[in-house]
Amino acid sequence: MSVTLRFAPSPTGHLHVGNARVALVNWLFARRHGGRFLLRLDDTDTERSTAAFAAAIEHDLRWLGLDWDGFARQSDRAGRHDQAVARLKADGRLYPCWETAEELDLRRKLQLAQHRPPLYDRAALKLTAAERSHLSAARGAPHWRFKLAGKAVHWTDLVKGPLTVDTASLSDPVLIRADGRALYTLTSVVDDIDFAIDPILRGEDHVTNSGVQVELFEALGATAPRFGHLSLLVDAAGQGLSKRLGALSLRQLRAAAIEPLAVAALLARLGTADPVEPVPDLAALVDGFDLSRFGKAPARFDPAELGALNARLLHGLDFAALRDRLPAGATEAFWLAVRPNITTLADIADWWQVVAGELPPRTGPVDPVAAAGAATLPPEPWDEATWPAWTKAVGAAAGVKGKALFQPLRLALTGRDHGPEMRALLPLIGRDRAARRLRATR
């Protein structure tokens, strides 16, 4: 099966987890079926689209591990959009309208007051040539609406199964603004035709739009592609994320030191019955990808689940996989010692300071257990057997055991009352540094 899929964001903001999920699913489908994946920037909204947002989208996708086989900008394809507009006009499927936003709003309010659906009444189709000429002179260029066939559009959705959109229940959509710019509903169809996109995978908020676009595909002489509409993301309580996705942008997850592979592993499984678990690479997600596994119910995105998955992923990584991302001088022994106690790689800096730096001074008298520890420190070399042997000697000298023995020593040596196994940390701290910390007042 030859497939070409696309991710087509508008460069009007930063990618959030909902965008990333759609991009990832399209990429996984393409890679699973040996097809192509296209990145297309739908940048016809010139008021809000920026080069900075476009660059950020590419950066975010690469951070997530995605690549693409083709790239396009809608703004470079105005000529093709104009050709489609000319065809639709010639076929009588586009018609000019001059109503103002205020007039349309007043009509909708009147329809609602009369308990009628607030649909465009196609008043512009009833205009005479003289009336059109008058409106053109008085109000300038018109906007153009697509005349829907008013029929039931059926398709078997790749995610939701059989779907129907009755275009008789919809207003004829505006496809061309008064300033001559084509809108998304049209430009997306033209570009999907030219790039042979099939299937189109996107969020379920596009279902109605898909019904309209099927008519557009047919009006332009093309066969509509297959569609798959993914359920939208909700939070752990089942509430929609749409108003709060700004707090879940990829750039903010990256700043929080979340691993991109953890993000991908979670997003690839959201909405399926498959377990969410760490994966070694994106290839593992490709091998296990099956669009039929995605359900119709809303998909729950829980930042706490992402954090836990991130920790599990890191806990399974060996030293070689992270060598270049650890502090200069960090050894495999250091990584193995602190690995079970980190949730993000940003935690590493604190533990590196513990074993290789200096701790903040503390005021007050030296703890008697710490003083006993300083007096009984054995000579180096040290290994993991040093801690139990030394603490046994300290306990005998100070007359304490259990928490009363181990807690003061941990606090003096690390400045923390919890953390990695001291039998692994102590050799990394070393005798000279340990002696200074045990004798210091803090």
| 3-state SS assignment for residue 70 | strand
Whether the pLDDT of residue 211 is over 60: the answer is: yes
CB atoms within 10 A of CB 22: 20
Q: In the prediction, which pLDDT does 317 show?
A: 96
Instruction: Please tell me whether the overall predicted TM-score, pTM, comes out greater than 0.75 for this model.
Output: yes
Enter the tokens of residue 33.
């079926």
Strand ranges inside 173-263, DSSP E: 174-176, 200-203, 227-230, 233-234
| 3-state SS assignment for residue 219 | helix
Q: pLDDT of 282-341, one tens digit each?
A: 999 999 999 999 999 999 999 999 999 999 999 999 999 999 999 999 999 999 999 999
Report how far residue 280's alpha carbon sits from residue 262's, in angstroms, rounded to the nearest whole number: 10
Report how far residue 384's alpha carbon sits from residue 421's, in angstroms, rounded to the nearest whole number: 10
Domains of the chain plus CATH, in order, are: 323-442 (1.10.10.350)
> In which band, very low, low, confident or very high, does the pLDDT at 442 lie, cut at 50, 70 and 90?
very low
Share of the chain above pLDDT 70, in %: 98
Q: With contact defined as beta carbons under 8 Å apart, do 35 and 67 qualify?
A: no
**What angle, rounded to 10 degrees, do the helices at 403-414 and 386-398 form?**
120
Q: In the prediction, which pLDDT does 440 show?
A: 82
Report how far residue 145's alpha carbon sits from residue 178's, in angstroms, rounded to the nearest whole number: 11
Cα 126 to the chain's mean position, in Å? 47
Whether the pLDDT of residue 154 is over 50: the answer is: yes
| 3-state SS assignment for residue 169 | helix
Whether the pLDDT of residue 379 is over 90: the answer is: yes
Q: In the prediction, which pLDDT does 430 show?
A: 96
Note if the bond before 381 is cis, omega within 30 degrees: yes
Q: With contact defined as beta carbons under 8 Å apart, do 167 and 211 qualify?
A: yes
Task: For Cα atoms 292, 294, 299, give the angle at the middle one, nearest 5 degrees.
Answer: 175
Whether the pLDDT of residue 244 is over 70: the answer is: no
Whether the pLDDT of residue 128 is over 90: the answer is: yes
Among 210, 209, 99, which residue's Cα sits nearest to residue 144? 99
Report how far residue 231's alpha carbon sits from residue 203's, in angstroms, rounded to the nearest whole number: 6
Q: With contact defined as beta carbons under 8 Å apart, do 94 and 175 qualify?
A: yes
Q: In the prediction, which pLDDT does 245 show?
A: 55
Report how far residue 39's alpha carbon sits from residue 355's, in angstroms, rounded to the nearest whole number: 46
**Residue in the structure block whose two tokens are 């399209």:** 26
Whether the pLDDT of residue 44 is over 90: the answer is: no
Q: What is the DSSP letter of 124?
A: G
Q: In the prediction, which pLDDT does 247 show?
A: 62
Q: pLDDT of 172-202, one tens digit each?
A: 999 999 999 999 999 999 999 999 999 999 9
Q: What is the DSSP letter of 206?
A: G
Q: In the prediction, which pLDDT does 237 show?
A: 77
Length in residues, the chain:
442
> In which band, very low, low, confident or very high, does the pLDDT at 360 lie, cut at 50, 70 and 90?
confident
**What angle, rounded to 10 degrees, do the helices at 386-398 and 422-429 form?**
90
> In which band, very low, low, confident or very high, does the pLDDT at 242 lie, cut at 50, 70 and 90?
low
β-strand pairing of 70-73 with 36-41: parallel
Task: For Cα atoms 342, 344, 350, give the angle at the middle one, nearest 5 degrees.
Answer: 60
Q: From residue 221, how far is each of 93, 157, 194, 217, 403 by CA, in Å?
A: 13, 22, 12, 6, 79
- The H-or-E segment that residue 187 falls in is helix 184-194
Task: For Cα atoms 379, 380, 384, give the angle at the middle one, nearest 5 degrees.
Answer: 115
Enter the tokens of residue 413.
């040596």
Average of per-residue pLDDT across 4-15: 95
**What angle, rounded to 10 degrees, do the helices at 368-375 and 431-439 form?**
150
**What angle, rounded to 10 degrees, do the helices at 51-64 and 260-267 form?**
80
β-strand pairing of 143-146 with 94-97: antiparallel
Calculate the average pLDDT of the chain.
94
Average of per-residue pLDDT across 125-131: 96
| 3-state SS assignment for residue 258 | coil
Residues 6+ apart with CB under 8 A from 423: 384, 385, 386, 387, 388
Please give the full DSSP string across 244-257, using - where no structure is assigned.
Answer: TGGGGBHHHHHHTT
